[in-house]
Amino acid sequence: MPIPEKSSGNNNNNNNDNKRLVVKKLFARQQDEGFGAVVRRSIGRFEFRYFDPFLVLDEFSVSAPSGFPDHPHRGFETVTYMLEGEILHEDCEGHKGVIREGGL
């Protein structure tokens, strides 16, 4: 599948002469994590270790009383975007907040 490159300069035509090909498709792998939580992890597996600066990219689904075990978030920033529903996130230090649909 060709991906058009960004053009440089003031060339205003929509010519897609500079195309790059998709070299490899990488699919997320579903795995259980925590107590009834299902995670589809794409970035963060050993075979994708060179995708700096990203450590992990997950799509997850949890329903009460499911959840994740205590785990530290040290030395990196986490971002969660809620597609639907809401979740109460509480870390092992006691910091907590609710993330709602459309929230970041």
Q: Which pLDDT does position 3 carry in this prediction?
A: 54
Q: Which pLDDT does position 14 carry in this prediction?
A: 59
Question: Which residues are CB-contacts of 96 (< 8 A; sequence separation ≥ 6)?
Answer: 88, 89, 90
Taking 50 as the pLDDT cut, the residues of the chain under it are: none
The Cα 12–Cα 3 span in angstroms is: 18
Q: Which pLDDT does position 24 carry in this prediction?
A: 78
Cβ neighbours around 15 below 10 Å, total: 9
Q: Which pLDDT does position 41 carry in this prediction?
A: 84
Question: Which residues are CB-contacts of 77 (< 8 A; sequence separation ≥ 6)?
Answer: none
| Type of residue at 102 | G
The Cα 100–Cα 104 span in angstroms is: 8
pTM: 0.53
pLDDT tens-digit series, residues 10-34: 555 556 678 888 887 878 888 888 8
Q: Which pLDDT does position 18 carry in this prediction?
A: 83
